[in-house]
Amino acid sequence: MRKIYFADLTYNDGILACDVMPLGSAYVAAYALANFGSRCSAGIFKYADEFFKLVENNPPDIFAGSCYVWNKNVALMASKYVKQKNPDSMIVFGGLAFPLDKKRQKLFLQENSHIDFLIPYDGEIAFSNLLNAYFDTGCDIEKMKSTPIEGVLCINKKGEFVAGANISRPKELDIFPSPHLTGLMDKFFNEKRFTPSMQTTRGCPHTCAYCWASNEQNRRIGNFSMDRIRKELEYISKMAIANNIYDLMVCDSNFGLYERDYDTVDVVYRLQQELDYPRIFTAPYGKAATSEHIKRISRLKGMKYGLAMQSTDQKVLEGIKRRNLSGDKIVEYINLVHSMNKNVSTEIITGLPHETRQSHMNTLRDMMKYNFDFVDPFTFMLLDGIELDSEEAHEKFKYDIRYRLIPRNFGKVNGKYSFEIEKVVVGTNSYNFEDYIYFRSFHGLLRLLVNNGIYRELIEYMKQYGVDIFDWLVYVFEDLRKNRSKAAGCFGKFTAEARSELWNSPEELIRFYSKEENYRKLVEREQGDNLMQKCSIFASSVYFDTYAAYFSEMAGRYLTDGKKGEAARIREEMADIREYILAKLSGVISKNIVREKVITVRHDILKWIESGFRGKLSDYKLEHPVAITFEISDDQAKLISTVIERYDVDENNPYGLFKTTTLVHIDNYFRKVKPLVRPEGVLK
């Protein structure tokens, strides 16, 4: 009986760097056991430190490593250790963190000569083909390399690159056993630390040149049957509820793009009604999502609505082979989400080919005009296997490349330092490094002020005075850059880290953080966190009062410039808005939740909000100040407590806070208003 260790490893320093169940490995393991279960056993592993302890005394015959950008180096370290402990072991790698052109695939295998075989696409059939050859040759690895194996790459004893033909993805995916229904995922449920994940569809029909999913091999669409999906959802729900897990992730590329996805929505809705699970439902939504899509999925609790844009510049879009919805369709989509009192987010990428400072500034301005509630900015990453990482693209666009630590993906493993590193573009022949730094900082302000709905009332108030919110953002940004204030001091830490997080080479980064005094900065979270998340979460917790006061002051200053006669009234109105904003969130994200806040206001701010901000706030002036109570509901308290326990959240653990807002939108933490009983004629 041959032992196979499937390793989808993650770092674990109290908070898991990747806390999603290892679905890819589990699919391959389930199919391998279905075909060769009488000849091999299989274990699936996530914790890097525990994996090394196991291998020390009990190495496998076959190491099957899932390799992604966030765990590539620890996977390589683990595979070398397996080979050291068992020189006769077979080392197999699969996943997304590999180049897809033959020249660089060969180079990767040459540079990592301990790896015997590489599987660049879907792993189930290719790995089983490999096992078939393994057993047929009497486990003779060198003999296996003498003949091409379908779906598998290797270098033989002569140094020749041997590539088996690509495997066409099946249209009907039920031939692959369910890792949930076969029990392979049970131990991860019982750990109570992992987000359950599943697939309903594989493949992506789009051609976005910055994305791995757009490669030609991956564009073939395959589906699991609805009967299989229903059974998996029911099983996942049972296991999740038993282990106090509240969330579910669907790992499709474009959920909601296909008519059949709404059958899945029906099942999830039924489970939510009957079992109150999943409370948070996450899926990468179809890039061609429409208002009809929103109508059909809006029944689900815990939904996040998104419409990725990346850019609105036509030359940039053509360069990345992407087509966005028309402006009218975008507005229709956003308005429909807003009509349900929900938020809608978008994604943009800075530094794409053909991008300029002006074109990216125009994209940001367009996001404001479209009225997105949440703009998630990303830096252009050169992922393995994407079209824009080709030699031709490098030559054409003259990339300025830097390297940075993938947030929290590091650790001391088996006594050695390990760091996961991403390759980012900070300049091209149309966009330079100072442009990158400018926008990295500006994106931070965008996250603070526009995203999450924290300052929604303030922004709507300014709109009523005809203020272009983007112009005001620029105004605030320039003040933060040039003038001294407590808020500018807080923001300056973010700007400084935008420069210091970049390195000229992976080796430079590794040398620096391999010094114990610098490594401690990562462990203590002084460095190494997701910078945008860090900026955002500190602004809504540690620095919340400071920023709320500053943004209110800047709004008042902007509005009263040249309007001295209105200054007193505006200050009074801004005071109500500031107190309302503070009452929503202060003291909520804590182990000791402050469940209730009471404020006093001079305007019927509730009626103003409920009206959809119709009319100016001055129209809602009250005869006498009144009190408003804000409180956390029992359902909110339950959710917050579950999240805090899972991620060990407190004021001194910012990474725990990051994880909560990644899974649970910040507005789920807002206190809700409970009007007090008051005399007729005041707040109703």
In a domain, 471, yes or no: no
Average pLDDT on 654-663 reads 58
Do 98 and 22 have their domain in common? Answer: yes
Most confident of 125-134, 214-223, 622-631: 125-134
**Looking at the predicted structure, is the pLDDT value of residue 84 above 70?**
yes
Co-location of 66 and 115 in the same domain: yes
Q: Three-class SS of residue 301?
A: coil
373 touches 343 (CB < 8 A): yes
Average pLDDT over residues 599-607: 93
Asked if 334 and 225 sit in the same domain, the reply is: no
Question: Which token pair is 389?
Answer: 């990482």
Q: Could you give the count of Cα atoms lying within 13 Å of 512 in the half-sphere of its Cβ?
A: 17
Residue reference for tokens 């009225």 = 371
**What's the whole-number mean pLDDT along residues 316-340?**
91
Let me know if residue 544 belongs to a domain: no
SS3 102: helix
Question: Percent of the chain having pLDDT more than 70?
Answer: 93
Q: Can you give the CATH number for the domain in which 373 is found?
A: 3.30.750.200
Q: Is the peptide bond before 278 cis (omega within 30 degrees of 0)?
A: yes
Q: What is the pLDDT of residue 678?
A: 46
315 with 202, same domain: the answer is: no
Q: Which of 133, 163, 193 is the last residue of a domain?
A: 163
Instruction: Mention every residue, 6+ apart, whose C-beta is less than 8 A from residue 210.
Output: 310, 320, 349, 352, 380, 381, 383, 386, 387, 388
Report the CATH number at residue 237: 3.30.750
Residues of the domain holding 247: 169-301
Amino acid making up residue 586: S
Q: Determine the Cα–Cα distance for residues 419 and 421; give it in Å rounded to an integer.
A: 6
Structure tokens at 172: 């009907």
Q: Give the per-residue pLDDT at 154.
A: 97
What CATH number is associated with residue 11? 3.40.50.280
Q: Which band of pLDDT confidence, cut at 50, 70 and 90, is reported for residue 564?
A: low
Classify residue 476: in a domain, yes or no. Answer: no
Number of domains in the chain: 4
Residue 159, domain member (yes or no): yes
With a pLDDT cut of 90, the percent of the chain lying above it is 65
Distance CA 461, CA 175 (A): 57
Q: Look at residue 134 and tell me if it is in a domain.
A: yes
The SS3 of residue 333 is helix
One domain, residues 223 and 334: no
390 is a domain residue = no
Gap between the Cα atoms of 669 and 593, Å rounded = 10
Give the range among 22-36, 135-149, 654-668 with minimum mean pLDDT.
654-668
Q: Please state which of the ranges 127-141, 201-215, 253-267, 280-294 shows the lowest mean pLDDT.
A: 280-294
Identify whether residues 189 and 251 lie together within a single domain: yes
pTM for this entry: 0.87
Between these two residues, 636 and 1, which has the higher pLDDT value? 1
CA 32 to chain centre: 30
Which of 131, 163, 195 terminates a domain? The answer is 163
- Assess whether 41 and 109 both reside in one domain: yes
Q: Could you say which of 262, 281, 301 is where a domain stops?
A: 301
672-675/621-631 β-pairing: antiparallel
pLDDT in tens, 130-185: 999 999 999 999 999 999 999 999 999 999 999 999 999 999 999 999 999 999 99
Among the residues of 243-326, which ranges form H helices?
Answer: 261-275, 291-297, 314-319
Reply yes or no: is the peptide bond before residue 60 cis, omega within 30 of 0.
no
Residue 219 has a pLDDT of 84
More confident residue, 77 or 296: 77
Q: Is residue 427 part of a domain?
A: no
pLDDT at site 679: 43
Residues 361 and 255 grouped into a single domain: no
Rounded CA-CA distance 445/551 in Å is 11
Same domain for 144 and 181, yes or no, is: no
Return the number of other C-beta atoms located less than 10 Å from residue 523's C-beta: 15
Amino acid at 466: G
User: Tens digit of pLDDT for each residue in 623-644?
Assistant: 999 999 999 888 888 777 777 6
Q: Are residues 29 and 134 in the same domain?
A: yes
Spatial distance between the Cα atoms of 231 and 227, rounded to a whole number of angstroms: 6
Same domain, 644 and 664: yes
On whether both 261 and 313 belong to a single domain, the answer is no
Tell me whether residue 442 is in a domain: no
* Identity of the amino acid at 207: T
What burial letters (b/e) apply to 261-286, b meaning 16+ CB within 10 Å?
A: beebbebbbebbeeeebbbbbbbbbb
